[in-house]
Amino acid sequence: MALKKIVCLTIPGMAPFEFGVICEVFGIDRREHGGPIFDFHIVAAEPGPIPMKMGFDIVVHEDLSAAADADLIAVPAYLGDGSAHPEIVRVLREAEARGAWVMSVCSGAFLLGEAGILDGRRATTHWMYTDRLSAEYPLTDVDPDVLFVEDRRVVTGAGTAAGIDAALHIVRKELGASAANVVARRMVVPPQRDGGQSQFIQTPVVECRSDSFALVTEWMLENLDQDLTVDQLARKSLMSSRTFARRFRAELGTTPTAWLNRQRLLRAQQLLEESDLSLEEIAGDCGFGGAAVMRHHFVKVLQTTPTAYRRTFGARQLA
């Protein structure tokens, strides 16, 4: 396993929920459900009571020495003032320099900026703070309309829940879709969400608020191998095509076609990992029609080919 040792940094004034997201994704033994187990550490520059944003303390026992060989350094939400502990800054710089994963949740991106590892990279943070991040770190290309960004093993997540998306992205990249799916299933969250932050700025969008869309998306998942059109889906939902497309985007934050392609891709990843079916068979089962079309979607979304993906994740046993 390439992703084994995870270190979560604690900083005075950090947000408890975002800290909990990191602990939830990486700190729980999920082997009984076929999922991963990580060597998880919570560390501090000065061990002892760490004051949280909400006015209570947590007690941290480990110092920063555990971070020296970590595969991933994770930073919770922390809207700093540019005066982070110098040893925290050092740990982040050394992790980035040796090619380890570095991840921030929400305003934790400011600590990465202070460490200088966002210079020349794309990044994001909560939409309330994107202008400030751009102003304070002008060498960073801040994208305000994404749930997370990966740029050369540095991953920055947007708002609170987007920290889950960012963490699952790293699990998926290192251990495959099946491992990420196990974690997501235990957390009762989608393995991968579509859309960007803009859907949350004015009117928050939640997953399938109406029974009609829950039913139609379930039916779509059961019929991925079919040539599903918007007109056909609209008829099944007893709506006009225009109304269906508009309401689908409002419910799920993306178009029916984009959502369908994402589910087909996730299903193809699972089959590449768990079966010995040929590429043509998988493409047919997932509704891509042929291996060439499936390859196009893999390269466009995952920046790899189905063959390379299978070589990396096929029949992988989690340890």
| Burial bucket for residue 29 (CB in 10 Å: 0-12, 13-18, 19+) | exposed
d(CA 23, CA 27) in angstroms, rounded, equals: 5
Residue that the structure tokens 């502990």 belong to: 85
The ranges assigned to domains in the chain are: 5-187, 205-319
Helix 177-187 / helix 256-274 crossing angle, nearest 10 deg: 120
- pLDDT band at 203; cut points 50, 70, 90: very low
| Residue predicted with more confidence, 205 or 66 | 66
CA distances (Å), origin 105, targets 19, 147, 269: 8, 10, 26
CATH number of 5-187: 3.40.50.880
DSSP-derived secondary structure letter, 45: S
d(CA 190, CA 185) in angstroms, rounded, equals: 8
d(CA 156, CA 74) in angstroms, rounded, equals: 10
Q: Which of 71-80, 84-93, 224-233, 250-259 is predicted with the least confidence, judged by mean pLDDT? A: 250-259
39-52 pLDDT, tens digit each: 999 999 999 999 99
Q: Does residue 17 surpass a pLDDT of 80?
A: yes
The mean per-residue pLDDT over the stretch 191-209 comes to 46
- Write down the pLDDT at residue 315: 64
Any bridge partners for residue 174, and if so which? Answer: none
Q: Does residue 285 surpass a pLDDT of 70?
A: yes
Helix 256-274 / helix 291-302 crossing angle, nearest 10 deg: 100
The mean per-residue pLDDT over the stretch 84-105 comes to 97
| Residue predicted with more confidence, 26 or 300 | 26
String of DSSP letters for 200-238: HHSS---S--SHHHHHHHHHHHHTTTS---HHHHHHHTT
Q: Does residue 205 surpass a pLDDT of 70?
A: no
- Write down the pLDDT at residue 1: 46
CA distances (Å), origin 308, targets 130, 289, 313: 36, 20, 9
What's the chain's average pLDDT?
Answer: 88
212-224 pLDDT, tens digit each: 677 888 899 899 9
Neighbours of 187 (CB within 10 A): 17
Q: Does residue 194 surpass a pLDDT of 70?
A: no
According to the CATH classification, is domain 205-319 in 3.40.50.1370?
Answer: no
107-136 pLDDT, tens digit each: 999 999 999 999 999 999 998 999 999 999
- Write down the pLDDT at residue 184: 84
d(CA 176, CA 172) in angstroms, rounded, equals: 4
DSSP-derived secondary structure letter, 318: P
List the structure tokens of 122.
Answer: 């794309």
- pLDDT band at 206; cut points 50, 70, 90: very low
d(CA 50, CA 80) in angstroms, rounded, equals: 15
- pLDDT band at 207; cut points 50, 70, 90: very low
- Write down the pLDDT at residue 319: 41
